[in-house]
Amino acid sequence: MDKIKNITTTIGRGRKGFALIITLSVLSVVIALTIVLLSYFTKVKEDAQATEALIQADIYYADILSQLKSRQKPETILKGLYKRPLSLRTPDGRFNLILRCRPLAAGINVNWLAMEHVNGKQQHFQEAQILFDTLAQQYELEDADRLLEMILEEIGLGKKYVQESQRRLIQKHGIISYQQFAEIIKRYEMEVDDRKIGHVPWRKYFSFSNYADKIDAEYSSAELISYLFDIDLRTVREWMASLEKSSLQAFVNANGGNYNEKKNLLAGGTFLKESRCSVNYGAGYRFTFDYIRGEAKYFEFHGKH
């Protein structure tokens, strides 16, 4: 009897254990399905929000262009945006938008590197080439010749070193955005294994537009102005921070520089009508576009940041 009782007890415990295993397995499946469903609903919600944000971007984009085109002198608006962004916000915070614009040609155009054999563009080429060599030497790049080769291939042939997502931004020839240039830099870094390339402040010296034929030096970085006219960087920064600063030409000539030497490359008092604008709105969404000679180009929705 004791043996039978023990066997019965053991079987009963085995059944309970088996039932517990089944219950735990079912619970695990249910939990896993719940997690999957929650992830799916989260993704659907995010996609819906992104779609709504894209529709909003299209509306804001159209409104901004309408305002620019309705003005006889849109450069007045753009000059103001160069100095400070336009910020709009409702009291309840349900609507917020920040519009920023910068001149496209505030640096030495990187596309000038390909103008060695272009008639009348020797000064443009030399200025770009000397700057490239100076930065390559200053930051001790491993293979500056290879980097230059990749840049020239992109300017002349296009699309070779740029990811698919960037290709729709590219015209037949030329580098038209920093994003396009940055893809070349990434490719170079991977190919040459040169991490020092990431320390070069390209945007402080170069601009990225195949339209720009002049440097809008009034809006250039302190570093570029210091480089162009061989003036101490601290002196340039003090001039830029001054509330009553003189014109660039007066500043350069007063500090031992030679403005006339670079005059053919500079916009001077001419407004170049080449701007890149960025709009931040809503819950961290952003889009950009170029406004070139009265026409909007290269609209790009960047999603949430």
7-34 tens-digit pLDDT: 455 545 555 555 656 665 666 666 666 6
Q: How confident is the model at residue 156 (pLDDT cuts 50, 70, 90)?
A: confident
Long-range contacts, 260-269 (Cβ 8 Å, 24+): 262/127, 262/215, 262/217, 262/228, 262/229, 264/123, 265/123, 265/124, 265/127, 265/214, 265/215, 266/214, 266/215, 266/217, 267/105, 267/214, 267/215, 267/216, 267/217, 267/218
CB-hemisphere CA count at 13 Å for 133? 7
b/e 20-41 (16+ beta carbons within 10 angstroms → b): eeeeeeeeeeeeeeeeeeeeee
pLDDT at site 42: 53
Q: Does one domain contain both 52 and 121? A: no
At 29, list the tokens.
């499946």
At 43-54, the pLDDT tens digits run 555 556 778 888
Which residue is it, tokens 């002349």? 156
Q: Does one domain contain both 10 and 83? A: yes
Q: Does one domain contain both 114 and 214? A: yes
Per-residue pLDDT for 208 more than 60? yes
Long-range contacts, 223-227 (Cβ 8 Å, 24+): 224/106, 224/107, 224/108, 225/252, 227/131, 227/134
pTM for this model (two decimals): 0.74
In a domain, 252, yes or no: yes
Q: Does one domain contain both 94 and 78? A: yes
At 241-294, the pLDDT tens digits run 998 889 999 999 999 999 999 999 999 888 888 899 999 998 889 999 999 888
In a domain, 267, yes or no: no
- Looking at per-residue pLDDT, the higher value among 130 and 272 belongs to 130
Which residue is it, tokens 């910020």? 87
Q: How far apart are CA 249 and CA 243, in angstroms?
A: 17
pLDDT at site 142: 96
In a domain, 203, yes or no: yes
Average pLDDT, the chain: 83
Per-residue pLDDT for 73 more than 90? no
- Mean pLDDT confidence for 113-125: 91
Share of the chain above pLDDT 90, in %: 49
Q: Does one domain contain both 165 and 21? A: no
Q: Does one domain contain both 215 and 83? A: no
pLDDT at site 162: 46
pLDDT at site 168: 44
pLDDT at site 125: 95
CB–CB of 140/98 below 8 Å? no
Domain residues for the domain of 50 are 1-104+272-305
In a domain, 279, yes or no: yes
Q: Does one domain contain both 88 and 110? A: no
Q: Does one domain contain both 132 and 245? A: yes
CB–CB of 275/133 below 8 Å? no
In a domain, 161, yes or no: yes
- Mean pLDDT confidence for 231-244: 94
- Mean pLDDT confidence for 199-203: 96
At 87-105, the pLDDT tens digits run 988 888 788 999 999 999 9
Q: How far apart are CA 106 and CA 259, in angstroms?
A: 16
In a domain, 98, yes or no: yes
Q: Does one domain contain both 90 and 190? A: no
Q: Does one domain contain both 75 and 143? A: no
pLDDT at site 2: 52
Count of the separate structural domains present in the chain: 2
Q: Does one domain contain both 229 and 115? A: yes
Determine which of 13-17, 51-55, 142-146, 237-241 has the lowest per-residue pLDDT on average.
13-17
Most confident of 13-22, 69-78, 154-163, 187-196: 187-196
In a domain, 187, yes or no: yes
CB–CB of 158/168 below 8 Å? no
- Mean pLDDT confidence for 156-175: 52
pLDDT at site 159: 46
The neighbouring-strand residues paired with 102 are 276
Q: Does one domain contain both 213 and 241? A: yes
